[in-house]
Amino acid sequence: MKKIAVITTGGTIGSSTDNGIIRVSERENPAIGRALAGQEYEVFSPINILSENARPETWDWIARTVRTLHWEEYSGILITHGTDTLCYTGAALAYTLNDTPIPIVLVSAAYEPNDPRSNAHINVQGAVDFIRTGGLRGIFAAYANDGEPCRIHLAARLEEITACGARLHSYGGVPLGTISDHQFIPEQAPQNPTAQELNQSRKPAFPTGIAFDRRVALIKAYPGINYGVFDLTGCTAVLHCLYHSGTGQTEGRGSLTKFIRRCVEQGIPSYFTPAHRGDRYSTTQQLMDAGAVPLPGVSTAAAYVKMVYCCNTPNTAADLPLRDICFETIE
């Protein structure tokens, strides 16, 4: 097998603990060395940060590093990353590197590699096994929840890792597959793309090297929120993260409906997730009547990242936020 490119970016999987404080480390990652024993690989380190400090520019640094590699020389690319913003970087790389002819796999860990509770080793091993046996092109993530085998997820469908138990799930509840006995076993589910669909040749959805000078506001609903306090200065678009049923506050002085109308008056588009097809609540219809656009079948993280790229990429089609780019949308 050809060599594997390893891109390290920091995160818990690239950290160590000193006097109770977890910090990114400059030392060689033991999980990588163990999983890649006997396998030729090259390491690249464009950044070394905890992922909570990531910004859209960080996504671009990683994507540009991948673009500098001669893809034909590698059987796959492994990217280590922190858990906190893994779902956002996963979506960003899926949108900007979706023309890859080889598998690119994101790997993270719930605890730093030297912690006996860490899943770093099984995750890296799962990524390597997937590169060796999956036979798929695209952007993926390898992660084992506590007590479970390593699952392979589509990077554009990653949910935020849970605060309790540090568990990772795919949007829609079904991973792409599982690693068993060092082999990739695909999950047969109607919402998953086939191998043929994944391996189709495609063009990159968004370029690298863009300036992220236009910002998207992501506002999460909670009881008692007063939308009247939000300042729209410098805001290009708004994405509302609503309750699970796709509903938001429509009554009261600081209601979301009034805020959406204010956005419309200022030429700032408003979108919302989650959004469900078919029957909807009356409050959801009120938000739509006020001018909000639903983004059905896609996670909030994937929708937010797509909107960031749409707002910062010249000549982007107006309906691109509604389109499926790299299997992020579930019908």
80 forms bridges with which residues in the sheet? 8, 107
Alpha carbons 77 and 128: distance in angstroms, whole number: 9
Task: Provide the sign of the torsion angle of the four alpha carbons 274, 57, 35, 164, taken in this order.
Answer: negative
- pLDDT tens per residue across span 110-133: 999 989 999 999 999 999 999 999
Alpha carbons 301 and 19: distance in angstroms, whole number: 34
Angle CA 80–67–176, to nearest 5: 50
The encoded tokens of residue 5 equal 């490119």
To the nearest whole percent, how much of the chain has pLDDT over 90?
Answer: 85
Mean pLDDT of 43-49: 93
Altogether, the residues listed in the chain come to a count of 331
Alpha carbons 52 and 24: distance in angstroms, whole number: 12
- The pLDDT value given to residue 296: 95
Q: Does 30 have pLDDT greater than 80?
A: no
The encoded tokens of residue 142 equal 């390898």
Is 10 in contact with 107 (CB distance < 8 Å)? no
Pairing mode, strands 183-186 and 177-180: antiparallel
Q: Does 37 have pLDDT greater than 90?
A: no
Mean pLDDT of 289-302: 97
- The pLDDT value given to residue 36: 84
Angle CA 326–328–331, to nearest 5: 115
Is 250 in contact with 283 (CB distance < 8 Å)? yes
Alpha carbons 130 and 122: distance in angstroms, whole number: 12
130 Cα distance to chain centroid? 19
- The pLDDT value given to residue 190: 95
Q: Does 147 have pLDDT greater than 80?
A: yes
Phi-psi region of 26 (alpha: psi -120 to 50; beta: other; left: phi over 0): alpha
The encoded tokens of residue 62 equal 């990683």
Distances (CA, A) of 94 to 98, 164, 176, 222: 5, 27, 15, 30
Angle CA 179–201–312, to nearest 5: 95
- The pLDDT value given to residue 18: 85
